Amino acid sequence: LAIIVMVMTLNTNADIPPQRQAMLEAVRQSVLESAGYTGIATLSDAVMAAMGAVPREAFVLPAYRDQAYRNTPLPIAAGQTISQPLIVALMTEMLDPQPGDVVLEVGTGSGYQAAVLSHLVKHVYSVEIVAELADSASAVLKKLGYKNITVRAGDGYAGWPEHAPFDGIIVTAAAAHIPPPLLKQLKPGGRLVIPVGEYSGAQELLIVEVDGSGQVSKQSVLPVRFVPLTRD
Ligand code: SAH
């Protein structure tokens, strides 16, 4: 049995191209290095597998394709960015996604974070304020065969009431404050992962939880720098 398990593991790894494997290793290493302040020393196997399953090169601009597996953010269209793999992995881990979950993402951008999440949950709804990005992300996700992700153009500050409540909500642009509509669309016990702070200054990545009695608790996990959450 041990041999079979080992062979299976090797096969799984062999399916991941070497550059993506190296990105996973860099992410694992930086998670460990930042554990002192994030409190997260390791990523779950499920999150690592999801990161290993998504071809990041499909989500970056052609000019940056050779850099797609560096552990850095990269420019995408409309002056926006695809987040650093470390941040995508940490935010995914912070959300604590479960297989039956329906989650909302605010800030589709390239569609990469949505793709990672889609490997871990039942359905991902994602809202993007720049119509051009919503269109291109939809097209890439469709081309790659993702069927459990729905993208729409719009202001994600208002969430997506038609599909609420959500088991989890992830916001990938920095908000000046926690948008009340998002708290309202979160299931009791659900998590909201969101960068909050000044647009060009200090931002903190928060885990916000709402319990059954509506009590809101916040935990700051790490300082970050995101593009701003803009409004319609
Ligand atoms: N999750 C993305 C990262 C995107 S960067 C990825 O994996 O590539 C943040 C994105 O949030 C940008 O595309 C920006 O246009 C979008 N955004 C900013 N304000 C928004 C809002 N109010 N509603 C929806 N999307 C917003």
In this predicted model, what pLDDT tens digit does every residue of 78-127 receive, in sequence order?
Answer: 999 999 999 999 999 999 999 999 999 999 999 999 999 999 999 999 99
Alpha carbon of 3 to ligand 1 centroid (Å) = 45
When pLDDT is cut at 50, 70 and 90, the band that residue 1 belongs to is: low
Whether 82 lines ligand 1, by a CB cut-off of 6 Å, is yes
Whether 83 lines ligand 1, by a CB cut-off of 6 Å, is yes
- Residues 164 and 166: their CA atoms lie apart, in Å, by 5
- Residues 228 and 184: their CA atoms lie apart, in Å, by 22
84: Cβ–Cβ under 8 A, 6 or more apart, which residues? 71, 72, 73
When pLDDT is cut at 50, 70 and 90, the band that residue 9 belongs to is: low
Whether 118 lines ligand 1, by a CB cut-off of 6 Å, is no
Among all residues, which ones are annotated catalytic? 83
- What pLDDT, in 10s, does the model give residues 182-211? 999 999 999 999 999 987 788 999 999 999
Helix axis angle for 18-33 and 85-95, nearest 10°, is 70
Whether 51 lines ligand 1, by a CB cut-off of 6 Å, is no
Radius of gyration of the chain (CA): 17
- Residues 133 and 111: their CA atoms lie apart, in Å, by 9
Q: pTM to 2 decimals? A: 0.94
- Which residue owns the Cα nearest ligand 1 atom 12? 109
Instruction: Beginning with the edge strand found earlier in the chain, give each strand of the sheet holding 216-224 in spatial order.
Output: 149-153, 123-128, 102-106, 166-171, 186-197, 203-210, 216-224
- Residues 128 and 153: their CA atoms lie apart, in Å, by 5
